[in-house]
Amino acid sequence: MSEPARTLTAAISGAGETAPANDAGFLWDFWYPAIRSSAVRGNDLVTAMLLEVPLVVGRTSEDRAFAMRDSCPHRGIPLSHGRFDGKTVECSYHGWRFDACSGQCVEIPSLTSQDKLKIDRVFAGHHPCEERDGYFWVYMNGPGTRLPEAVPDAPTLKTFSEKYKITHLECELPSHIDHGIIGLMDPAHGPFVHASWFWRKRGSIHEKAKQFEPIPNGFRMSPHTPSSNSAPYRMLQKYTGEPVTTTIDFVLPNMRTEEIRSGKLWFSSRATVTPVRRDLCRIDFVAAWNLLLPVWIFRSFAEKFLRQDQETMVQQAEGLKHNPRLMLIDDADRPAKWYFGLKANLLEARRTGQPMRHPMDGPVTLHWRS
Ligand code: FES
Ligand SMILES: [Fe+2]
């Protein structure tokens, strides 16, 4: 199922032809959300998969999040079948024990005093792991590559007051990550996929002009007053009597953030599309706000939205099985072209060690109808 995505990538970036045959089109050396914090209680060992890497995730008795490769370095049995005492993970097969936070072996029960094996040189696969905004984030350095000397900080959702509400939603898409992402940034499907009384109607489609600017590893829809055909924005403006501004950023590898502000009121959200396997990705959506908006009302709208996107992606995956030719058109698909450009240029910069070239020359205004 990755095939169509790769063809599309190749068509846009020209980078596909040289990629190894088994290249799944993932971006390594970034943080990805693996699972929700609420999925891990006490000494649970919980499995997750990121970029086709099986992981076992947990929290030590000192509350430190950890992520190991879910595979014992001795014979490969998943470590998640073993036991965790709050500090070390014991393999279920021969009882080797590993420090959960470093992956370092601390005991091999079968060794005798005659054995020369240095157990502290034995390591289980291991990734940096941090808990933020209600997720276990895992830094996925590529297979066979070392961690950078300074691993960057894990992403954090921006908030603008001490008290706020926060909620999380997720949904799986049977798609390659590239299709998940270009679906996320696609402005033209709104009136068709999300048509409803509270959002947009087909009849309200009108021409829009939005300014975009390059930012490191991504692009920004410059701060603007949101679309007048969206009821929630109209209500907000009425309530505060102050202008509403929205800033939307996309940054590699997979993150769209949106900030809406009006006077003292704010709403901040982040959607990430995370590759689980080459034919499966997951949208993790977190939103925080200090508006007088009950969580359950927001969730009922957001769940409907996500379900509509999910149904569309399920239908699209059916079509993509037959490897159709695809198109990206101007201007509505220009953000998708930038995504492919950013991805290709990042890989090129990593390969050559040269600074990364940004696919945008500078600010640009795009026009579309939605
Ligand atoms: S397979 Fe894990 S200890 Fe042998
Ligand atoms: Fe959508």
Helix (H, G, I), strand (E, B) or coil at 344: helix
* pLDDT at residue 370, rounded to an integer: 86
pLDDT surpasses 80 at 202: no
Q: What atom in ligand 1 is closest to the CA of residue 96? A: 3
pLDDT surpasses 80 at 46: yes
Q: Give the number of the ligand closest to the Cα of residue 308.
A: 2
- Torsion angle of alpha carbons 299, 302, 307, 310, nearest 10°? -130
pLDDT surpasses 60 at 336: yes
Radius of gyration of the chain (CA): 23
Q: Which of 10-14, 34-38, 148-152, 199-203 has the lowest mean pLDDT?
A: 10-14
Q: Is the CB of 93 under 6 A from ligand 1?
A: yes
Express each pLDDT in 140-172 by its tens digit.
998 888 888 899 999 999 999 999 999 999 999
pLDDT surpasses 50 at 277: yes
pLDDT surpasses 50 at 6: no
Q: How far apart are CA 197 and CA 231, in angstroms?
A: 9
- Return the DSSP state at 203: G
What residues have CB less than 8 Å from 99, skipping those under 6 apart?
Answer: 87, 88, 105, 106
How, if at all, do strands 105-107 and 218-224 pair?
A: unpaired
- Give me the residues near ligand 2 (ion), CB cutoff below 5 Å: 309
Confidence of residue 231 (pLDDT cuts 50, 70, 90): low
**Which residues in 334-362 are b (16+ Cβ under 10 Å) and which e?**
bbbbbbbbbbbbbbeeeeeeeebebbbee
The Å distance, Cα 1 to ligand 2 centre, comes to 21
Bridge partners, 247 (sequence order): 259
Query: Which residue lies with its CA nearest to atom 3 of ligand 1?
Result: 94
Q: Residues 323, 3: contact at Cβ < 8 Å? A: yes
**Which residues in 29-51 are b (16+ Cβ under 10 Å) and which e?**
bbbbbbbbbeebeeeebbbbbbb
Express each pLDDT in 252-276 by its tens digit.
999 999 999 998 999 999 999 999 9
* pLDDT at residue 222, rounded to an integer: 85
Mean pLDDT on 282-308: 94
What residues have CB less than 8 Å from 16, skipping those under 6 apart?
Answer: 6, 7, 9, 10
Confidence of residue 13 (pLDDT cuts 50, 70, 90): very low
Q: What atom in ligand 1 is closest to the CA of residue 82? A: 2
**Burial level of 132, CB count in 10 A (0-12/13-18/19+)?**
middle
Q: How far is CA 182 from the centre of its chain?
A: 13
Q: How far apart are CA 339 and CA 183, in angstroms?
A: 11
Q: How far apart are CA 219 and CA 252, in angstroms?
A: 9
Mutate to test the pocket of ligand 1, among 96, 98, 106 (most ligand atoms within 8 A of CB): 96
Q: Is the CB of 107 under 6 A from ligand 1?
A: no
| Closest to 228 (Cα-Cα) out of 246, 212, 240, 250 | 246
Mean pLDDT on 290-312: 93
Of 291 and 138, the structure prediction assigns the larger pLDDT to: 138
Confidence of residue 333 (pLDDT cuts 50, 70, 90): very high
Q: Give the number of the ligand closest to the Cα of residue 309.
A: 2
Express each pLDDT in 341-355 by its tens digit.
999 999 999 999 999
Q: How far apart are CA 189 and CA 54, in angstroms?
A: 34
Mean pLDDT of the chain: 90
* pLDDT at residue 235, rounded to an integer: 75
- Return the DSSP state at 355: P
The kind and range of the H/E element at 295 are: helix 295-320
pLDDT surpasses 60 at 311: yes
